[in-house]
Amino acid sequence: MKVEILSRELIKPCSATPPSFRKYNISLIDEFSPNMNVPTIFYYSATDQDTTLSVPIMSYKHLKNSLSKVLSSFHPFAGRYNKETHSVDCSDQGAEFVEAKVDVQLDDLLSQRKNLKVEVLNDLLPCPLGAVDEYTDPLLAVQVSAFSCGGFAIAVCSSHRIADMTTTISVVKAWAIATKMELGYVVDNDVPNSWNFDSALLFPGQNLPSLPSGISRDKENIEVHKVVTKMFYFSESKILSIRERAKVDKLSKILPTRVQSVFGIIGKAIIDVHVANPENPKGYAVVQAVNMRERTVPPLKNQFGNLYLAAYAQSVVGSEGVELPYFVDCLSSSVKSAIDNCSVVLSLQKEGKPSLSQELRELLKSLANPEIYFAGTFSSWCKFPLYEADFGWGKPAWVSNANIPMKNLVILVDEKSGGGIEAWVNLKESDMKEFIKHNEIKDIIDCN
C-alpha cells in the first residue's frame, strides 16, 4: 500500500478563543498519562461509484469548515502544550489537517484485516505517535486518505497529554455532526453545547512524570522500536466460552465481564511467556484504565481531559504460569476497587487529602521495581460510539487502531456488530513470537 501526501495545513477555530480561555492548565491525571498521540482510524466505503471523482473535493472542503467550527468548542485542541508551565497555550495555532491518496482499494484492505501487517496502517496517520510535548506539536491532527475505489479513511491522532478516548470520540462525534450539517443534512444533534475545562481545579497538577510510553519522536519503525502489533479477533461465542472458564466459582451463574475475560486470556499468555523463563521475576503487575466520568459524585460527564483511574493488579505466579480464574478475579477486583474510589475521589480532593496523587506515585514506584514484571497496560474502547461517526458517507465499515510501539499495551475495540471484540496487542518482537504459540492464543488464531 502506497500513501501519497497531497497537502498539509493548519485548521484554526472559526471564532477566536476569548482571552479568559487562552491558558488551559493540565490536571494531575493529564500529567500521569503516557506521552504519546493516540491513533484512531475510521474507514468509509464508497457508496456511489458514479460520483467518486467529485467526492474528495467536496468532502475536504466541508470537513475543514466543520472542523474549524468544532475547534471553537474544544479550544485546547487548537493550542500548543507548554511543558515548562504544564499548560496549553490556547492562542488558536490550529489542528493539523492532512490530505492523502492511497493506491489500493479499501475493500482489499478490509478483506485482509484479520491477517493484516498492522504497521502499514501507520501510513494513514497524520503524525508520528511519539511527536508530543514540544511546542510545535499539534495536539490534534487528522489525515483524510482517499482510496482508489472512492472510499476514505479518516485518521485522528489526539495527544494523551490533554485527552482520553472519551474526550477524543466526543470531538469526532461533534465533527461528524457538523460536517453533515455543512452538507445540508438534517441531523439529531445530541452533542453537549458546553464542556468544562477545569479539570486542573478538581485534580491539581503536581509535576508528576508521565507514564513512560517508550515511543520515540520518529515515525514508527519496527526495526527501531522492536515492537509489533497484531489484531486478534474474539467471536461472541468464544468470549462466552472464556467467561465460563474464568469463573472462580464453577457453580455460580454469574460470569465475569466480557472485557475482563478477554483481558484475562491475553494477560495470562503474556505472563506465561515470561514465567516460563526462570531468569525473569515471578512477580507481575498490570494496569487497567477505568473511566471515572459518570461514576463520580457528582458525575463529570462533560469534563474535558483525561478522567480515569488506574486499576492496579499485582501478584506472584509459580513456574506453571497463572490460573485464568484467579487472574480474571484479580483484574475484576482491582477494577471494582477503582470504581468504588470514583464515588469518593472528588470529596477527598476537596478535603485536601492527597489520595489520588499518592496512589499514582506509588504506582509509578511499583512499575519501576525490577523484581516485578510489568505485564500490561490494558485499555477498553468497548461501548464507545466509534461506529456512530457518520460524516455523510454512512457509518464506518471498520474502526482500527495502528502499530503503537509501546510494549505490552492491549486495547480492546468492539467489532461493528457489537458481539465480538478485536484485541490490539503490542509486544516486543521476540515476545510476540512466543505469544502466538501459547495454547490459548493459538486457539483464538485457529478459530479465525
Q: Which pLDDT tens digit goes with each residue over 82-126?
A: 999 999 999 999 999 999 999 999 999 999 888 889 999 999 999
The string of DSSP letters for 95-106 reads EEEEEEEESS-H
Give the CATH architecture of domain 3-202.
2-Layer Sandwich (3.30)
- Going from N- to C-terminal start, the domains of the chain cover 3-202, 222-447
- pLDDT band at residue 128 under the 50/70/90 scheme: very high
Section 170-184 average pLDDT: 92
Alpha helices by DSSP H, 376-438: 429-435
- Partners of 154 in the beta sheet? 42, 144
Q: Are 434 and 243 in contact (CB under 8 A)?
A: no
The secondary structure of the chain in percent helix, strand, coil, rounded to multiples of 5, reads 35, 25, 40
Whether the ω angle into residue 396 lies within 30 degrees of 0, i.e. cis, is no
Strand 140-146: give its sheet, edge to edge.
3-11, 95-102, 140-146, 152-159, 37-44, 398-400
Cell 479465525 maps to which residue? 448
pLDDT (tens digit, 9 = 90+) per residue, 182-235?
Answer: 888 877 777 767 899 999 999 998 887 777 777 888 877 767 788 999 999 999
Alpha helices by DSSP H, 203-354: 222-225, 236-245, 258-275, 324-350
- pLDDT band at residue 269 under the 50/70/90 scheme: very high
Task: Decide if 390 is catalytic.
Answer: yes
Catalytic residue among 92, 137, 272, 390: 390
- Dihedrals φ, ψ of 231, to 5°? -100, 125
Q: Are 441 and 240 in contact (CB under 8 A)?
A: no
* Cα 153 from chain centre: 17
- 48: pLDDT strictly greater than 60: no
pLDDT (tens digit, 9 = 90+) per residue, 232-257?
Answer: 999 999 999 999 999 988 777 789 99
Task: Decide if 62 is catalytic.
Answer: no
Look at residues 220, 156, 231, 75 and name the one whose alpha carbon lies nearest to residue 389: 156
- 383: pLDDT strictly greater than 50: yes
Catalytic residue among 62, 86, 160, 274: 160
pLDDT (tens digit, 9 = 90+) per residue, 403-445?
Answer: 999 999 999 999 998 889 999 999 999 999 999 999 999 988 8
Lowest-confidence region among 134-143, 180-189, 305-314, 376-385:
180-189
- What percentage of the chain has pLDDT greater than the value 90? 66
- pLDDT band at residue 73 under the 50/70/90 scheme: very high
Give the CATH architecture of domain 222-447.
2-Layer Sandwich (3.30)
- pLDDT band at residue 372 under the 50/70/90 scheme: confident
Section 127-155 average pLDDT: 94
pLDDT at residue number 56? 45
d(CA 292, CA 392): 32
261/191: higher pLDDT: 261
CB-based burial label for 423 (10 Å; 0-12, 13-18, 19+) = buried
pLDDT (tens digit, 9 = 90+) per residue, 299-358?
Answer: 998 999 999 999 999 888 776 778 999 999 999 999 999 999 898 888 866 655 457 878
pLDDT at residue number 67? 97
Q: CB atoms < 10 A from the CB of 396, how many?
A: 23
Q: CB atoms < 10 A from the CB of 422, how many?
A: 23
